[in-house]
């Protein structure tokens, strides 16, 4: 839809007078904030509003309603979906409040922060937030997508440890949300992504963690079959104080990639444990004994280095991602995955990951949320970089993985692992009842449909 007209441009000039932050049209300084982390996603809003307050967001909502526009939100763009020029993009990077209270073990954090900001603020107090596998993603998008971090089996979802949200609804209302105030919104914000409003600040619990035992073992691709089968058996009785994932990796020969891993198929076993060092070492030694790692990067690490477990890329790149949840996996399932991901498979994917779930994640928290599928056993994620010579093969191969793994998958997905603006894909994130109630709440708090864009659960009324 092409709505970029002189009349709209004139109207957008009036928005500048309504907000204290900046409003950037295409070609103007500040518009580059629309560029997402996944640069393959076309994000071309009619303007980028770099807000400085909740009031700026409210003004943007009201302006959008008056001008038949929609409003999306972005901090880092890790969960980006296509946006056209009938959308105002709110960028939250200036909402940088961060107050750590060591007495209550809580932090009040602005939606402009990334996880490393919060980690660094909490560390001097011997505390830590439940960050995700990447410390460079935005806190708000991660938590509204429920939050699966490297210690998910020990503590459960990161969003299970949220105390409150401050949000702006699609109707421009500023609401403080807790388990006791607007409980229905507290339920829906934890898992509902952008359905119910734009988050401005969040209060979270901090954990008394300073160090953990973990990191990654990197094996040659030729050892992938032996290690993968051993890992599946190892997962069966892994204690809840430990979390793990594995990944088939094909990393390019770039300066930031360790030479033993560059330009070849490798197989990583990731591990994060809060057991004491001796017990944790004994647990991971079962995997160390299967084959000789190319790199052994597992040991005692400060929590500030939690991102080293997954070593997710930092720099923006064009990617195609897909994901699905699984039931219990058999050795036949591992062999099937090896046939499309392992040696000789000609896989064009950069990462094919299996993440063990269960543990604390599988139990309902004190306050229920819109996160579904706590009974899933593993999350399967596929990511390929869309650059020659493999770009053309990435999507088709990802679909092939879906087909061959179908006997063990549920067809469902985690909110943060499945960025999409396709209503059918978004619906995979929820069960039928959750989808219904999220949609009803969205319609109630956004009657003009200002937020009906991007990854939101809004069924047609």
User: Per residue in 435-444, pLDDT tens?
Assistant: 999 999 999 9
DSSP 409: B
Please, which residues have CB within 8 angstroms of residue 59's CB and are 6 or more apart in sequence?
15, 18, 19, 172
- Lowest mean pLDDT: which of 230-239, 284-293, 365-374, 410-419? 410-419
Q: Is the pLDDT of residue 1 over 60?
A: no
Note the pLDDT tens digit of each residue in 144-200: 999 999 999 999 999 999 999 999 999 999 999 999 999 999 999 999 999 999 999
Q: How far apart are alpha carbons 131 and 134 in whole angstroms? A: 8
Per residue, the 3-state secondary structure of 76-135, as one string, reads CCCCCCCECCCEEEEECCCCCCEEEECCCCEEEEECCCEHHHHHHHHHHHCCECCCCCCC
Inform me whether the pLDDT recorded for 300 exceeds 50. yes
Helical (H) or strand (E) element with 50? strand 47-50
CB 100 within 8 A of CB 127: yes
What angle is formed at CA 436 by the lines to CA 430 and CA 440, rounded to 5 degrees? 130
Domain boundaries, the chain: 6-91, 98-208, 211-417
pLDDT in tens, 394-435: 999 999 999 999 999 999 999 998 789 999 999 999 999 999
Q: Give the pLDDT of residue 460.
A: 60
Question: E strand or H helix at 230, and its extent?
Answer: helix 224-235
Closest alpha carbon to 273 in 343, 356, 332, 349: 356
The helix (run of H) or strand (run of E) holding residue 351 is strand 351-356
Query: Mean of the pLDDT values across residues 105-126?
Result: 98
pLDDT at residue 3 in the model: 55
264 CB-contact burial (10 Å; exposed 0-12 / middle 13-18 / buried 19+): middle
Are 261 and 267 in contact by the 8 Å Cβ rule? The answer is no
Sheet strands (E) in 147-285: 162-168, 174-177, 198-205, 211-220, 242-250, 265-273
Distance, in Å, from the CA atom of 354 to the CA atom of 248, rounded to the nearest integer, reads: 9
Query: Which of 176, 207, 206, 205 is closest to 189 using CA atoms?
Result: 176
According to CATH, what is the number of the domain 211-417? Answer: 3.40.462.20
* CATH of span 98-208: 3.30.465.10
Average pLDDT, the chain: 96
Closest CA to 7 of 65, 46, 36: 46
Reduced to 3 states (helix: H, G, I; strand: E, B; else coil), residue 64 is helix
State how far Cα 102 lies from the chain centre. Answer: 27
Share of the chain above pLDDT 70, in %: 98
Q: At how many degrees (to 10) do helices 6-18 and 54-66 cross?
A: 150
For residue 38, the tally of other CB atoms under 10 A from its CB is 21
pLDDT band at 4 (very low <50, low <70, confident <90, very high): low
Task: Enumerate the H helices of 102-223 as residue ranges.
Answer: 115-122, 139-144, 152-155, 183-189
Distance of CA 105 to the CA centre of its chain: 24
393 pLDDT higher than 70: yes
Kindly state the tokens that stand for 196: 């119910």
Q: What is the DSSP letter of 329?
A: P
CA distances from 74 to 36, 49, 145, 167 (A): 8, 10, 13, 14
CB atoms < 10 A from the CB of 106, how many?
19
At residue 11, the pLDDT reads: 85
Strand partners, 43: 83
Q: Which of 349, 161, 339, 333 is nearest to 248 (CA)?
A: 349
What own/partner pairs with CB < 8 Å and gap ≥ 24 does 101-105 have? Answer: 102/126, 102/127, 105/205, 105/206, 105/207, 105/208
Q: How far apart are CA 58 and CA 170, in angstroms?
A: 8
What pTM, to 2 d.p., does this model score? 0.95
User: What fold does the segment set 6-91 form as a domain?
Assistant: 3.30.43
Tokens of 323: 């994901």
- Asked whether the predicted pLDDT for residue 335 surpasses 60, the reply is yes
Continuous H helices in 248-317: 277-288
Distance CA 315, CA 39 (A): 10
Cross-strand bridge partners of residue 407: none
């Amino acid at each position: 839809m092409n709505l970029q007209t002189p009349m709209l441009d004139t109207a957008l000039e009036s928005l500048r007078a309504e907000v204290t932050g900046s409003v950037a049209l295409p070609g103007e300084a500040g518009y580059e904030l629309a560029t997402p982390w996944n640069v393959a996603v076309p994000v071309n809003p009619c303007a980028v509003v770099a807000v400085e307050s909740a009031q700026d967001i409210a003004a943007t909502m009201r302006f959008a309603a008056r001008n038949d526009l929609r409003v999306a939100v972005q901090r880092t763009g890790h969960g980006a979906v296509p946006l056209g020029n009938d959308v105002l993009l709110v960028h939250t990077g200036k909402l940088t409040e961060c107050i750590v209270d060591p007495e209550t073990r809580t932090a009040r954090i602005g939606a402009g922060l990334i996880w490393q900001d919060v980690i660094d603020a909490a560390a001097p107090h011997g505390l830590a937030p439940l960050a995700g596998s990447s410390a460079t993603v935005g806190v708000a998008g991660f938590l509204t997508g429920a939050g699966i971090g490297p210690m998910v089996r020990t503590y459960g979802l990161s969003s299970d440890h949220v105390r409150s949200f401050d949000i702006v609804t699609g109707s421009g209302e500023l609401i403080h949300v807790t388990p006791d105030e607007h409980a229905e919104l507290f339920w829906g914000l934890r898992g509902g992504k952008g359905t119910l409003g734009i988050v401005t600040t969040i209060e979270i619990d901090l954990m008394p963690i300073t160090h953990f035992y973990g990191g990654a073992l990197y094996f040659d691709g030729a050892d992938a079959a032996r290690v993968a089968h051993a890992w599946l058996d190892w997962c069966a009785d892994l204690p809840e104080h430990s979390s793990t994932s594995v990944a088939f990796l094909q990393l390019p020969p770039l300066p930031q990639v360790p030479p033993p891993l560059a330009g070849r198929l490798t197989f990583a076993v990731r591990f994060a444990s809060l057991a004491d060092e001796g017990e944790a070492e004994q647990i991971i030694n079962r995997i160390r004994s299967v084959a000789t790692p190319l790199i052994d990067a597992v040991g005692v690490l400060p929590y500030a280095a939690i991102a080293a477990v997954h070593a997710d890329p930092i720099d923006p790149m064009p990617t195609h991602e897909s994901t699905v949840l699984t039931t219990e996996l058999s050795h036949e399932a591992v062999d099937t995955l090896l046939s499309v991901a392992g040696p000789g498979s000609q896989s064009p994917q950069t990462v094919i990951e299996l993440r063990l779930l269960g543990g604390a994640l599988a139990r309902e928290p004190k306050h229920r949320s819109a996160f579904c599928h706590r009974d899933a056993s593993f999350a399967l994620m596929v990511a390929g970089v869309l650059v020659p010579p493999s770009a053309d093969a990435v999507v088709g191969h990802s679909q092939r993985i879906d087909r061959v793994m179908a006997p063990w998958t549920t067809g469902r997905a985690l909110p943060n692992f499945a960025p999409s603006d396709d209503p059918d894909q978004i619906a995979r994130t929820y069960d039928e009842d959750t989808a219904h109630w999220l949609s009803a709440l969205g319609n109630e708090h956004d009657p003009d449909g200002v937020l009906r864009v991007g990854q939101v659960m809004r069924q047609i009324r």
